[in-house]
Amino acid sequence: MKSYNMLIGGEWVGAASGETFETENPFTGKSWATIPRSGVDDVDRAAAAARKAFNDPSWSGLSASARGALLRRFADLLAANADRLAEVETQDNGKLIAEMRGQLRYMPQWYYYFGGLADKVEGRVIPIDKPGVFNFTREEPLGIVAAITPWNSPLMLATWKLAPALAAGNTILWKPSEFSSASALEFGRLFEEAGFPPGVVNIVTGFGSEIGSHIVSHPQVDKVAFTGGDRTGQGVYELAAKSIKPVTLELGGKSANIVFEDAVLEDAVKGVVSGIFAASGQTCIAGSRALVHRSIYPAFVEALVAFAKTARIGDPSSENTQVGPITTRPQLTKVLEYIEIAKAEGATLALGGKRASDPACGDGWFVEPTIFTDVAPAMRIAQEEVFGPVLAAIPFDNDEQAIEIANGTIYGLAAGVWTQSISRALTMSQRLRAGTVWVNTYRAVSYMSPFGGFKRSGIGRESGLSAIREYLQEKSVWIDISGTVPNPFVQR
Ligand code: TXE
C-alpha cells in the first residue's frame, strides 16, 4: 500500500488526527493507497497557510509577468510528468489510459494560456464626470479560492479552476474528491518543484460530507469554485450565500445529441456513441439523450446498437480498451438503479442493461454499454443525470419538437446537432439553451473556449479569456488632482 500525505503551507503532512482512508482501484476493486482523512482543524490550517501566502510578498509582491512565468514552468513540468500522472489516475479512478494520456498531455495548455494572460489583465481610466479628480480601476485577486473538485476528470477539472485563479494572483485551498485524491497529491509536488511559494497551493484531502461545509463557510475563503453533483452544488451555493461568497458551479447535465434526417448517419452514430460511452458516460457533458428524427429512427438505432456492440470493455490500463469501469462503488449502484428505473418506466432495452460479466472485467465495477429506446421525454431516464454508460433514444417529428425536448430538462450544459443544413445548424445553436453547442462534432473542449452551464447546470464560465474574471474583483480608485480640498460645509 502506498501512503500519501497532503500539502499544507509547503509541508507534506498527515491529518492532525492521524486518520487516513483507503482509496480503491475500480478495475480490481482493491485498495492500493492511503490518503489523509482531514478534519476541520486541517482545513483551518490550510486556510491559514493560504492567507499567509496571499499576504506574503513572495507571492503578492510578484509581478504579473513573474506569476505567468511560474505557471509556464509548472506547465513544462506537467508535460514532462503527463504519462506518469496518467498511470496514477488510471489506477485510482479507472479512466482509460489512452484518454488519460491525451488529457494530461493537453492539460499544460491551460497553464501556458493563463500564464500568458496573467500580465494582460488591465484596469481602465474612467473619463470621470467630476472636475479635479482622476479615477481608475484595478483588477485584484479575490484572495483564497477554495476549489472543490470531483472524481470523473480530477486533474482537468481542477486545472480549469487553478490555472485562472493562480494567474489572477489568488491562493488555493483545493479539496479533491475522496475517490481521486492520489493524482492531486502527485500534482501538488509539481507546484513545489515549479517554485510556487509555500502555501500558494494547499491540498486538503478527505470526505466532502465531513469537511466540505467547513471549507465553503470558512471565513478565510473568499470564493468557491465547485464541480460536482447538482444536489451537493445546491448545498454549496446556499452555504456560500450565507457569507456572501462568489461561486462558480459546474453541475452536470442531461445533454441532447440531436440527429436530423439530413445528417451524415455514420458520423452521427460515431458522435452519439462517443458522447455517451466515452469515459463510461461519467462526464458532465455526456450526450445521454439521443434525439433522432422519426423517419430515420429505426435505422439509426440499429446502426447505433451495432456500433456500440463493437466496444472493447475491460482493463483501463490496456491501450486497446474502449470502455472502462465505473469509478466508484456508489456510482455503480446508482447506474444499475437507473437501468431498473428505465425498465420499470416502460423503456425498451436495446443493448446492455446489467453489470458486465465479460471475463476481461474481472471483479471490476463495470456496466455494459446500455441503450434504451422508446423513451418518452418525461421519463426519469430522460430527465435525470445518470452519469454512466446509459443512453436514452427519443424520436422527434420536427425541428420545433426537437428543440422543445432538448430544452425540456432542468439542465443546460451542452447539446449536439447533426445536420448538413447551415441554416438548421445556426438556428439550433441559437435556440438550444445550453452553454456549449456542437455541430457535427461532440465533446470538443479547449483552454480557449468558455465552458459552463445554462439553467441548473451551473453558474460562471471556465476556460477562455473570460474565465480569469471569475477570480478577480474590480476596484475603483479616486485621486484628487485639484490640489484643494473643499470646505465640506459649503454646498457645491
Ligand atoms: O458528487 P459530489 P458524487 C454527479 C453525478 C454523480 C453525482 C454524485 O450525477 O452521480 O453527481 O457524485 C465534495 N460540501 N456528478 O457524490 O458529492 C466531494 O467531496 C462541499 C457530476 O461523487 O458532488 C467532491 O470533492 N463539498 C459531476 C465534490 O464535492 C462537498 C462530477 C463532488 O462530489 C460536500 C461528479 C459538501 N457538503 C459528479 N459533499 C460533473 N458536474 O461533472 C461532497 N462534497
What cell was used for 128? 470621470
Instruction: Give residue limits of the domains in the chain.
Output: 2-251+457-476, 256-439
* 461 Cβ neighbours under 8 A, 6+ residues apart: 248, 435, 450, 451, 452, 467, 470
The active-site residue, picked from 139, 250, 385, 470, is 250
CATH number of 2-251+457-476: 3.40.605.10
Whether 89 is catalytic: no
The minimum-distance atom of ligand 1 relative to the CA of 388 is 10
Ligand 1 centroid to residue 120 C-alpha, Å: 34
pTM strictly above 0.85? yes
Residue 271: closest CA among 446, 260, 405, 464: 260
Backbone angles phi, psi at 65, to 5 degrees: -65, -40
Quickly count: other Cβ atoms within 10 Å of residue 298's Cβ: 12
Residue 83: what are its φ and ψ, rounded to 5°? Answer: -70, -35
Residues 370 and 353: beta-carbon distance below 8 Å: yes
CA-based torsion, 3, 5, 6, 10: positive or negative: negative
CATH number for the segment(s) 256-439: 3.40.309.10
Q: What is the distance in A from the centroid of ligand 1 to the CA of 94?
A: 17
- CA angle centred on 49, ends 43 and 54, rounded to 5°: 125
CA 113–ligand 1 middle distance (angstroms): 28
CA–CA distance, 124 with 126 (Å, rounded to integer): 6
pLDDT tens, residue order, the chain (492 aa):
999 999 999 999 999 999 999 999 999 999 999 999 999 999 999 999 999 999 999 999 999 999 999 999 999 999 999 999 999 999 999 999 999 999 999 999 999 999 999 999 999 999 999 999 999 999 999 999 999 999 999 999 999 999 999 999 999 999 999 999 999 999 999 999 999 999 999 999 999 999 999 999 999 999 999 999 999 999 999 999 999 999 999 999 999 999 999 999 999 999 999 999 999 999 999 999 999 999 999 999 999 999 999 999 999 999 999 999 999 999 999 999 999 999 999 999 999 999 998 899 988 999 999 999 999 999 999 999 999 999 999 999 999 999 999 999 999 999 999 999 999 999 999 999 999 999 999 999 999 999 999 999 999 999 999 999 999 999 999 999 999 888 889 876
Rounded distance from Cα 229 to ligand 1 centre (Å): 4
Whether 335 is in the pocket of ligand 1, judged by its Cβ within 6 Å, is no
Query: Hey, is 230 helix, strand or coil?
Result: helix
Residue 10 DSSP label: T
248 Rama sector, left if φ>0, alpha if ψ -120 to 50, beta otherwise: beta
Q: Which of 89, 99, 284, 368 is labelled catalytic?
A: 284
Residue 361 designated active-site? no
The ligand 1 atom nearest the CA atom of 151:
35
231 CA closest ligand 1 atom index:
23
**Alpha-carbon distances of 114 from 139, 143, 465, 486, rounded to whole Å:** 15, 18, 8, 45
